[in-house]
Amino acid sequence: MVSQAEASPSQSQVFGVVSFYIVAAIVMVTVNKALLLSSPVPVFFLFCQLFVAVALLIASHFGRLISLPRWEWDIIPKLWPMIAANVLGLVFNNLCLQYVDASFYQIARGLVLPITVAIAVTTRQGAPSHRAIACCGLITAGFGIGLLLDRNSTGNGTSSFFIGVLFGILSSFTTAIHSIIIKRSLPQVNDSAVHLAWYTNVLSSFAIIPIIVLTGEVPAVLEMFFDPSQLRTFFYGSLVTGVFGFLICVAGFLSIKVTSPVTHMVSSAARGVIQTMLSVWAFGDVISRSRAASIVIITTGSIAYVWVKHSEQQKTDSPLAGREEPEDQVPLVAKEEV
């Protein structure tokens, strides 16, 4: 039986985990953007990040930090929907970051939560409450303000900008799908998140190889290998982002486990604000009033949604709730990609 002291983490633990999550996420996005600005091979870059994650999982296994499962080929056909959603989500995510400013990236992918709720309703997982719908409406309004009213010198209105926004919407959709498919895939690996991460990273690495060929990146990859300076930059960038991508997965789980979904969403919002400020300094991004308003509205709506869901769950779990069924079963927090 877990004692109360073990169940309640100390303030230093909470501060350490939240700080760890924020720093890992900011480093990941900043280095990713810096490398994508000069890299003509965003999909191959993603393959290298997954390769690093697989290597770290293997190292953790031999270091006895985790226990990886024996490979079972009959599981693969059962996991292919999740692998497809994961690969498409990661590819769209990197392409979005390549085409839009780092400060606009949070806006371009701002529809993750509303799309997640919409899919949950469509697949009959439950109808959201009126307050939850209002929060999703606020997030959608923030996205619309950023898309339609932002007129600054960062390239809004150009074809590349709208391509980046399109990839952001596609990334939001695949992220929402992925968050739902994960629940259905966990039983295939005995409900082990580590085992699912192992199969996901290995299979996603193989699935991305044909995409590298289809996107025509092979000549650019071969050319890069004959350019020592470019190869060195790409190697260190892939290593850093691969390591921090792996750490973000760990940090995200720890953040929710040690704190709460509400605190995790607040720390995500804080990360987004810091990330936007750093983009101004590191990449010379221009933050217009409409862009700032969009970020604030999306962040406020996201935090409000999680707070509403958290309060509704507390009422449902209360002994006074009797036998009443929960008002809805929409996921509390959608899976987050950085």
Give the tens place of pLDDT for each residue, 260-312. Answer: 555 555 666 666 666 666 666 666 666 778 888 888 888 888 888 878 877 77
**308 within some domain:** yes
Long-range Cβ contact pairs of 259-266 (< 8 A, separation 24 or more): 259/9, 259/14, 259/17, 259/18, 260/310, 261/306, 261/309, 261/310, 261/332, 261/333, 262/303, 262/306, 262/307, 262/310, 263/14, 263/18, 264/21, 264/333, 265/302, 265/303, 265/306, 265/333, 266/303
Q: Tell whether 236 is covered by a domain.
A: yes
Residue 67 has what pLDDT?
A: 86
Let me know: does 224 contact 234? Beta carbons within 8 Å: yes
Does 230 have pLDDT greater than 90?
no
Determine the structural domain holding residue 23 and report its residue range.
7-321
User: In this predicted structure, what is the pLDDT of residue 213?
Assistant: 92
The pTM for the full model equals 0.74
Does residue 262 belong to any structural domain of this protein? yes
Residue 211 lies in a domain: yes
Which parts of the chain are beta strand (E)?
none
pLDDT digits (tens, 9 = 90+) for 2-58: 444 445 566 676 677 777 777 777 777 777 777 777 677 888 988 988 899 899 889
DSSP 69: P
Put residue 66 in one of left, alpha, beta given phi > 0 → left and psi -120 to 50 → alpha. beta
Q: Domain for residue 145, yes or no? A: yes
Total of domains in the chain: 1
Q: Is residue 338 part of a domain?
A: no
- The reply to whether 174 falls in a domain is yes
Q: Is residue 328 domain-resident?
A: no
